[in-house]
């Protein structure tokens, strides 16, 4: 019963931590657009959090640079269980144009587990919302 209540509240109000591990900022601007009133991610209960310790979902942008790798792992470990990671944009998915660069480790799933991928360079706010809603539906279905 209590587990169902926790699951229900998590699906109805996922708190999101936005992590940029080396993005060019294109994806970050689209995430901000998705959170603003025009696209209104709050209608799905999505709330941006300033700390990973209070978040349910990490929305990650950019490839993981060698400099940020340890911090990405530390931030992931700070999010309480159960936690979910969304890779937002081609760079977060695979490293894209930065793949093979001497200071780039690759996509975010080279460093931490990823639950959902949102393609695009950058993905539109509609695509970001679609990805978040699909993730919420998959959490709901268990």
Under the rule (CB under 6 A), what is the footprint of ligand SF4?
23-24, 26-27, 61-62, 89-91, 96, 121-122
Q: Are 92 and 124 in contact (CB under 8 A)?
A: no
The residue among 29 and 139 lying less far from ligand SF4, judged by its C-beta, is 29
Report, in Å, the least distance between residue 10 CB and ligand SF4: 27
- In angstroms, the CA 10 to CA 111 distance is 25
Q: Are 92 and 60 in contact (CB under 8 A)?
A: yes
How many CB atoms neighbour CB 83 within 10 A? Answer: 18
Report, in Å, the least distance between residue 92 CB and ligand SF4: 7
* Alpha helix (H) residue ranges in 16-68: 26-35
* DSSP 8-state class, residue 89: S
Report, in Å, the least distance between residue 88 CB and ligand SF4: 8
Q: What residue is closest to ligand SF4 based on CB?
A: 26
The residue among 11 and 129 lying less far from ligand SF4, judged by its C-beta, is 129
């Amino acid at each position: 019963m209590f587990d169902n209540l926790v699951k229900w509240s998590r699906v109805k109000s996922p708190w999101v931590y936005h992590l940029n591990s080396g993005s060019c900022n294109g994806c970050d601007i689209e995430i901000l657009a998705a959170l603003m009133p025009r696209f209104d991610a709050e209608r799905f209960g999505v709330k941006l959090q300033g700390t990973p310790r209070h978040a349910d979902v990490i929305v990650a942008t950019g490839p993981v640079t060698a400099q940020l790798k340890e911090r990405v792992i530390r931030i992931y470990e700070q999010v309480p269980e159960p936690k979910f990671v969304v890779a937002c944009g081609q760079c977060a998915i695979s490293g894209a144009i930065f793949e093979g660069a001497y200071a780039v480790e690759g996509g975010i799933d080279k460093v931490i587990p990823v639950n959902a991928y949102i393609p695009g360079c950058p993905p539109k706010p509609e695509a970001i919302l679609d990805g978040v809603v699909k993730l919420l539906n998959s959490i709901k279905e268990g």
